[in-house]
Structure 1
């Protein structure tokens, strides 16, 4: 009898193991291409650490990439299923015949930081001064600033001040050394400057408000091929739910951020808090309809400023840019 019970227990254990193995094998693999050391990795870490992706039946495979352009190349080449990018790129690609789609991820966009000793109290005080700009001449923040300058000081920012385009880390270094009085950098670099005592002169929401746009604007989102999403509906919807769940945790729990400290590379407590609160402030709170409505208005501004080099031949945001497939999104 004991031998029979032993064999029965062994059979049950083997059956349970086989079933768990079969369940794991059935999990949908989602390959996500992200920039090394980028802030997107924070959310993915939460998704994995807290089993949020696994709960949705997803196996995340993180593909580290060196540059933003590498992410675009990777998804076009089929090496990854998702990347983080903006809806302007998606709209342009759709207008040229591709089937990319965009699901909002973050509205965190940097503003202008100034040194306390720069003698700059308002935007008009930047006249003739050097402004470090991250992202190049077609960066969306810079183009919106050019439009804002026309509205507020009656002159294109490109001539009103002296833009100096450079990589984000270099801009921060130049500001800290006093070699630049001000910089318009990506949000996490702006947060580091704030933690170091630099003043925020103007934020992106203030720039948008100056252009008559009071609502929030998620610029960055998860980008994927619509065809892939249609063929893998459970995977994409599960991934987006896991993404939302991770953001909810990051919004509500300070303990989650303590787990993320090693990834954040914060030099001190002030920087850690600035990065945490900056990420939280960037979590979208609006629905997809409102996001697309605001994006449509902003597209017109960006098309006027950046022209064909930015948006291609399209004159309006491409239909289908914002993903609406499945669930409540």
Structure 2
């Protein structure tokens, strides 16, 4: 019996190791050409800082429209495809759902060298809406998308009827605690990434629980870029985006937003940029989402806070039922 148990453990461990090896071999094309999205992808053409680029988006129409449009903005380590279930349920309720891939992400162009700003990303997103003739929207942003959704609402307050922020980063100003890093520093950091480091980061910062098979899809998309011949250019874009996130905080401007706002916060979330650059004592003071959520909700003129006890950084992936219920309730008011 003991020998059988040892053999069984060996087989399981070997299978897990082989599965990990296969995941490491995944190749993601530069503009996700080999990644199937859940809905049809369309493009608009932009000229940014002298560089012609194309920006991808999905525009999903409901069978029975309720006359409302909601735009979903993805986070730093993701693309619009991870809104699949959210979009399906929103269209079932009559919402038209628009999901962009920001420039530098997913099926959108990876520029050779542009300056990234949240203002530019907001303007790009507005260009999609203008091309579609959309005047009013509900706006949902997750993680980095929450920072972008905040900037978009500040720039185009007449466009956004309701704002939803799901575990947005930027609820605190990391520059106060974390030493400044140049874009070159961020770039060298990105070049050192591998499958194991990406998974460890997501495990520690996003989920805080047992790794589930459904998380692999989103990890493999990102990890597959490491095997791409264009990865140095992709890594440079990532470095520029990290610099944007770190140097362009929005936390000082929440009180200027008059739009009704729903803040959804996973209580296990501890995400913070630059934690690996400070002492453990300082790390303990960063990314405290239970505290940050309460403090931030008070800053909005019309803010509502929903706390999800079992969720980390991705409630719409990790604890979907607890995410979608308050979202639909807020949208129906």
Q: Point out the structure with the larger helix share.
A: 1
- Could you state the TM-score of these two structures normalised by the residue count of structure 1? 0.33
Bigger Rg, which one: 1
